[in-house]
Structure 1
Amino acid sequence: MSRIVRNCVVVLVALLWFVPTYLLLVNGVTSVSGYSGSPNWYPNSFGLFANIEAAWKTANLGPAMANSLYYSAVSSACAVLLASLAAFAAAIMPVRRRALWFWLIYGGTLLPLQVFLRPLFLAYANTGLYDTQAGMVVIYVAIAIPFAFFVLRNFAVTLPPEVIEAARLDGASWWRLFRSVYVPLSKSAMVAAFVFQFVAVWNDLLFGITLATSRNIRPIMAALADLQGNYSNVGPPVVLAGALVVSLPTVIIFFLSQRFFVSSLKLNV
């Protein structure tokens, strides 16, 4: 009986998650002329390619997608590298007060990001980082490190201590141990952390509209928000078609790395 109830709950939750996606697909496919003004539950016309073309030209999505791809890939890779170094030190090296270091780094996820907006804006304006690609990468690396550290540190504590001790007895330095033992064993966790942060950076809107204004700097979500600002001019189907295009890269990267993602979750349970 409990299994039946559990399966029903899972199906219900899956349906609740699927309804917004279904409406996005149906209304994104609908042509602007066939849109009635309220959400359609069934497609009554087909205008997907025309909607995508209108969204692409109106919001200049091409450069914005290239910017987000650059921000997501570079900042996520840098964050995973730094987080793996921190996780190795906090979980494997004989450092004092490991719990303190853990909470000091992971504590970056406990505060809402809105708290940092004013000091960040002022600091960026005073240092010349405002509305620059370097400035966007810096903030994305900073906000991506805590969660990546959480994933990698939890993986590091599951590694057999005998492996570390054997490498140390063979004369391996800590750097050699990190490079030749920890990194190969942690590939699945590193890929999972990279996917998490790639999706988070790609979907960011808050810093995209706060720390960048130029079209050649702003990320894709800021461009999509600009398209929605022109709501009355392009119509909801164009906005939704643009959202479909914007969501594709994150879906692709998730499915390409699904094997690493699932194996890492199993190891951290």
Structure 2
Amino acid sequence: MSTGRVLRNATLTVLALLWLVPTWLLVVNALVPAESYSGSPHWLPDGFGLLDNMSEAWDRASLGPALGNSLLYSVVSAAAAAVTAAFAAFATVVMPVRRQALWFWVVYSGTLLPLQVFIRPLFLSYAQTSLYDTQTGLVLVYTAIAVPFAFFVLRNYALTMEREIVEAARMDGASWWRLFWQIHVPLTRSAMVAVFVFQFVAVWNDLMFGITMVTSRNIRPVMAALADLQGNYSNVGPPVVLAGALLVSLPTVVLFFSAQRFFVSSLRIHR
């Protein structure tokens, strides 16, 4: 084995271990029974109180309704963003639209600014239109912020598709609508699933909009509920908070591994 390969493997191993350290600490300290927690982090398992800690977090922070809210926001927003981005990618790559590069930058520019700059105008506009503290308002926000990145991925994927497919379909009399649903969508399905997974995880993990655009406990997403657990119920102890964090992260882990083959296939160049 060459020296370069050895160094590369060693570097990747060290980076993987560094990445796993926070996860290891999360799991180990979530296992510690809350009543026996000493106040300092545990590096090795000491007892098994995970289920009790999860149950405590579930009850104290009302994680059940919050999980349902986040599931609604993540699924609807990610799906709407994927479909909207697919339409935009189809229009700017397949259809004979003028100034395609300009339209690309118009849509993609939504990722160039930090999300914090949108908080004040969103708050003011939502307060005037009665969208503040509503599920509809959060869905609209999450969909809007998810579209630019989804468009970037789907457009680049569409650029690798053969133009002959479109030309043949048009010569056979296929309309743009039929071409989109029967040819473009099936060919970009793996990329759309990958985009859905990316945006689902991003919406699920969002805290900023969940605490600034919502005040009601029955509307807040799960990350806002978890933050409330740590802030308003700090007497429960770190093991309960960590167990709650581990619990709310399970849906994203399950989704990622369930859609892994679509995620991997979308990274390959379409031929």
TM-score normalised to structure 1 length: 0.98
Moved over 3 A (4+): none
Check if 1:135 corresponds to 2:137: yes
Residues 35-60 of structure 1: per-residue CA shift (max 9 Å, x gap): 11011001112111110111000000
Question: Percent identity of the aligned residues?
Answer: 68
Q: Aligned letter for 1:78? A: A
1:34–1:44 contact (8 Å) kept in structure 2: no
Counterpart in the other structure of 2:124? 122
Shift in Å, 1:232 = 3.1
Q: Aligned letter for 1:264? A: S
Gaps of 5+ in 1: none
Q: How does 1:140-219 map to 2 (within 5 A)?
A: 140-219=142-221
Gaps of 5+ in 2: none
- Aligned with 2:238 (options 236, 239, 263): 236
| CA RMSD across the alignment | 0.9
Residues 5-60 of structure 1: per-residue CA shift (max 9 Å, x gap): 11111111111110000000000010112211011001112111110111000000
94-103 or 16-25, which moves further after superposition?
94-103
Residues 153-184 of structure 1: per-residue CA shift (max 9 Å, x gap): 01100000111110011111111110111001
TM-score normalised to structure 2 length: 0.97
Residues 203-222 of structure 1: per-residue CA shift (max 9 Å, x gap): 00000000001111000000
2:63–2:225 contact (8 Å) kept in structure 1: yes
Aligned-partner SS, 2:267:
helix
- Aligned with 1:222 (options 210, 221, 224): 224
2:34–2:49 contact (8 Å) kept in structure 1: yes
What number of residue pairs does the alignment pair up?
Answer: 268
C-alpha distance in 2, partners of 1:45/1:51?
12
Counterpart in the other structure of 1:21? 23
Residues 110-168 of structure 1: per-residue CA shift (max 9 Å, x gap): 10000000000111111000000000100000000001101110110000011111001
Shift in Å, 1:230 = 3.1
2:54–2:243 contact (8 Å) kept in structure 1: yes
Aligned-partner SS, 1:197:
helix
1:52–1:242 contact (8 Å) kept in structure 2: yes
Shift in Å, 1:231 = 5.1
Counterpart in the other structure of 2:67? 65
Counterpart in the other structure of 2:109? 107
